[in-house]
């Protein structure tokens, strides 16, 4: 049986192995691997019939559904590059991405096409729109999905595993969204690595709850398809919908971000979930200790995997379940086939317990930011000789991802997240991580959701401001009790200078994380206007 080297081969190899095995479930329908592979090949042939050149971009603006997955693997099968757009993006944001990477083909639905309005007229590189059904009005030719897939079979362009296959746009919390370019090798190596430590198998059913435009969300597809497992696509409206799907589909693996886990722990879990759930994995930020404890109580049979990743390198570290009780605050060690370094600003390695920047080297390091040399140079840098496997005699440079995240490594080699360098708060001479403050707030049990950030202060440098929602079942946030709990649990320099109560849930960015940047910006603007 051949090994997958290209992204689309994850589907093709699984189909060759077990064509009748279930691959994707959406609603009441399920596609087998054979059916999925045929659809992927059909979409690739359709793109070739449209005259798509090697490396040209295909944007996918859809919620999670069969067509989203088929296009995501079909575009690479044609030798093109897929660009997944978060379905929550507004037309102006969609237009920016279409223009930024010169998208040639847009795959969307009639309803979403109608919302784009005149945006598409401002995208000069766009040549075709493919609709999931029917027809619609657009400034370029419009094609029906079913008819496109019925095109005569055509071979795709020849590509190799170091060619780009995807551009994933970050949430743009510090400005315009940035397009992270990933190769076939990046995505296939990521799928193989993650599935190895999660021990994914063909009998698994993974719930795709995160957006497929988010690296951790798309990873559910690559890990499952590498293992021949089944993926359930879910566009949930309420956290309760996630639990219902887990029970109904007998889900064995769930990967989510802390805000969703916080919401899920506030609900009653059907007993049947624990009969099937083999693991739950966290990504996108530190899991609050109280939330982790609640999850383990609700699904005692499931193994917890605490992970860390960044889009620029797809996935970086994980904490083995048997280490969770000893070091629940750790993000673990490097995933298989990756090396994680902790470096000082001068490029030398940090000593144990010394904070430094997390630097990722290996097969998962992406190809930089699309058409942005300045930002690429900030994050993707040549690795100095003497670090990791770099010997002085090597002449060609190796680029690593300098994450911008501050971490520290203990004497046994386990890593601990300290905070984002651009989110770190400097107050009373101390550097304080917002996540460190939030961890204590959650542990009080007095908040539902919370976010901490620094605001300018004449005396302190920055004052720590908190926005929090009431806990489940409470009508109001008890600000006085929360302030007292903070004083009892935090050193004086870490105690929030202000606590602002608001109703929940707190706003999310497109990847489902609490939007700290927007909340802090809005709070400052409101204070200045008062």
pLDDT digits (tens, 9 = 90+) for 3-31: 899 999 999 999 999 999 999 999 999 99
pLDDT reported for residue 484: 97
What is d(CA 452, CA 461) in angstroms, rounded to the nearest whole number? 16
Verify that 413 and 441 share a domain, yes or no: no
Q: Band the pLDDT of 409: cuts 50, 70, 90.
A: very high
pLDDT reported for residue 385: 86
Verify that 415 and 473 share a domain, yes or no: no
**238: three-class secondary structure by DSSP:** coil
pLDDT reported for residue 235: 97
Q: Which stretches of 287-400 are DSSP H helices?
A: 289-298, 373-379
Q: E strands of 157-311, at which residues? A: 164-169, 179-183, 205-208, 230-233, 253-256, 279-282, 303-308
Q: Band the pLDDT of 423: cuts 50, 70, 90.
A: confident
Full DSSP string of 367-430: --BTT-HHHHHHHEEEPPTTSTT--TT--S--EEEEEEEEEEE-TTS-EEEEEETTT-EEETTE
Verify that 397 and 492 share a domain, yes or no: no
CATH of the domain at 448: 3.30.300.30
Contact call for residues 165 and 183 (beta carbons, < 8 A): yes
Position 321 pLDDT exceeds 50: yes
Verify that 131 and 101 share a domain, yes or no: yes
CATH of the domain at 266: 3.40.50.12780
Side-chain-side CA neighbours of residue 316 (13 Å): 30
Q: Band the pLDDT of 171: cuts 50, 70, 90.
A: low
Choose the final residue of a domain: 134, 154, 177. Answer: 177
Of 257, 195, 190, which is closest to residue 224 (Cα–Cα)?
195
pLDDT reported for residue 458: 76
Q: Band the pLDDT of 172: cuts 50, 70, 90.
A: very low
Verify that 265 and 398 share a domain, yes or no: yes
Looking at per-residue confidence, does 270 or 458 come out higher?
Answer: 270
Contact call for residues 331 and 283 (beta carbons, < 8 A): no
What is d(CA 335, CA 313) in angstroms, rounded to the nearest whole number? 11
Choose the final residue of a domain: 419, 448, 464. Answer: 419
Q: Provide the domain count of the chain.
A: 3
Instruction: Please check whether residue 214 lies inside any domain of the structure.
Output: no
Instruction: Please check whether residue 226 lies inside any domain of the structure.
Output: no
Share of the chain above pLDDT 70, in %: 98
Q: What is the pTM of this model?
A: 0.86
Instruction: Please check whether residue 255 lies inside any domain of the structure.
Output: yes
C-alpha distances in Å from residue 151, one per residue of 9, 155, 157? 21, 12, 16
Taking residues 312-327, what's their average pLDDT?
Answer: 94
CATH of the domain at 124: 3.40.50.980
Choose the final residue of a domain: 377, 400, 419. Answer: 419
- Report the residue count for the chain: 530
Position 173 pLDDT exceeds 80: no
pLDDT reported for residue 1: 60
Verify that 386 and 463 share a domain, yes or no: no
For the stretch 104-149, pLDDT in tens is: 999 999 999 999 988 999 999 999 999 999 889 999 999 999 999 9
Verify that 495 and 412 share a domain, yes or no: no
Instruction: Please check whether residue 311 lies inside any domain of the structure.
Output: yes
Verify that 427 and 372 share a domain, yes or no: no
Of 304, 270, 311, which is closest to residue 287 (Cα–Cα)?
304
Taking residues 386-413, what's their average pLDDT?
Answer: 92
Verify that 388 and 450 share a domain, yes or no: no
Instruction: Please check whether residue 142 lies inside any domain of the structure.
Output: yes
Verify that 431 and 513 share a domain, yes or no: yes
Instruction: Please check whether residue 281 lies inside any domain of the structure.
Output: yes
Instruction: Please check whether residue 468 lies inside any domain of the structure.
Output: yes
Instruction: Please check whether residue 170 lies inside any domain of the structure.
Output: yes
What is the average pLDDT score of the chain? 94
Verify that 413 and 473 share a domain, yes or no: no
For 81, the domain range is 19-177
For the stretch 220-246, pLDDT in tens is: 999 999 999 999 999 998 999 999 999
Verify that 509 and 480 share a domain, yes or no: yes
């Amino acid at each position: 049986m051949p090994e997958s080297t290209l992204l689309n081969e994850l589907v093709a190899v699984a189909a060759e192995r077990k064509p009748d095995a279930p691959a994707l479930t959406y609603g009441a329908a399920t596609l087998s691997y054979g059916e999925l592979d045929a659809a992927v090949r059909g979409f690739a042939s359709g793109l070739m019939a449209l005259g798509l050149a090697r490396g040209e971009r295909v944007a996918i603006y859809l919620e999670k559904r069969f067509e989203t997955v088929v296009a995501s693997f079909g575009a690479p099968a044609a030798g093109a590059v897929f660009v997944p757009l978060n379905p929550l993006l507004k037309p102006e944001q969609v237009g920016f991405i279409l223009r930024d990477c010169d998208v040639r083909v847009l795959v969307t639905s009639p309803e979403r096409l109608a919302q784009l309005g005149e945006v598409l007229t401002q995208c000069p590189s766009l040549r075709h729109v493919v609709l999931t059904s029917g027809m619609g009005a657009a400034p370029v030719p419009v094609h029906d999905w079913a008819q496109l897939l019925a095109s005569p079979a055509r071979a795709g362009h020849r590509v190799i595993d170091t060619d780009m296959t995807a551009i994933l746009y970050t949430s743009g919390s510090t400005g315009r969204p940035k397009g992270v370019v990933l190769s076939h090798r990046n995505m296939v190596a990521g799928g193989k690595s993650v599935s190895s430590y999660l021990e994914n198998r063909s009998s698994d059913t993974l719930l795709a709850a995160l957006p497929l435009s988010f690296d951790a969300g798309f990873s559910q597809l690559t890990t499952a398809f590498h293992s021949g497992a089944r993926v359930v696509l879910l566009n949930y409206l309420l956290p309760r919908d996630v639990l219902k799907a887990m029970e109904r589909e007998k889900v064995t693996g769930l990967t989510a971000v802390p805000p969703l886990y916080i919401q899920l722990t506030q609900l009653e879990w059907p007993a049947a979930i624990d009969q099937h759930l083999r693991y739950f994995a966290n990504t996108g930020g530190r899991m609050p200790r109280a939330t982790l404890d609640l999850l383990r109580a609700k699904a005692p049979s499931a193994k917890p995997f605490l992970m860390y990743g960044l889009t620029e390198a797809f996935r970086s570290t994980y904490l083995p379940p048997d280490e969770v009780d000893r070091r629940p605050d750790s993000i673990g060690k490097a995933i298989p086939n990756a090396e994680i370094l902790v470096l000082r600003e001068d490029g030398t390695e940090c000593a144990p317990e010394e904070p430094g920047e997390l630097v990722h080297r290996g097969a998962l390091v992406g190809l930089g930011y699309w058409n942005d040399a300045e930002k690429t140079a900030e994050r993707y840098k040549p690795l100095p000789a003497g670090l990791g496997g770099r010997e002085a005699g090597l002449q060609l440079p190796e680029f690593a991802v300098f994450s911008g995240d501050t971490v520290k490594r203990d004497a046994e080699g386990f890593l601990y997240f300290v905070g984002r360098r651009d989110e770190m708060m400097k107050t009373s001479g101390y550097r304080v991580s917002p996540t460190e403050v939030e961890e204590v707030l959650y542990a009080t049990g007095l908040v539902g959701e919370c976010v901490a950030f620094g605001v300018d202060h004449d005396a302190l440098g920055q004052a720590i401001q908190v926005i929090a929602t009431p806990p489940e079942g409470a009508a109001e946030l008890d600000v006085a009790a929360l302030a007292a709990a903070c004083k009892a649990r935090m050193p004086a320099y870490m105690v929030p200078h202000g606590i602002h109560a608001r109703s929940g849930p707190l706003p999310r960015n497109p990847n489902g994380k609490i939007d700290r940047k927007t909340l802090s910006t809005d709070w400052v603007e409101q204070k200045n206007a008062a």
